[in-house]
Amino acid sequence: MTARAGRKYKLSAPPPGALAAATVLTLLQRQGGREYLTTLYFGAEARGEYRLTARGERVRAQGPSGTVSELDAARFSEVFGRYHFAELRPSGLLTDLGPLFSPA
pTM: 0.78
Residue 98 Cα to chain centre, angstroms: 21
Work out the angle at residue 98's Cα, subtended by the Cα atoms of residues 66 and 55, and round it to the nearest 5 degrees.
35
Q: Of 37, 22, 36, 38, whose CA–CA distance to 81 is shortest?
A: 22
Q: Tens-digit pLDDT profile for the chain (104 aa)? A: 445 555 666 778 888 889 999 999 999 999 888 999 999 999 999 999 999 999 888 999 999 999 999 999 999 999 999 999 999 999 988 776 555 554 44
**Burial class for 47, CB neighbours closer than 10 Å (0-12, 13-18, 19+):** middle
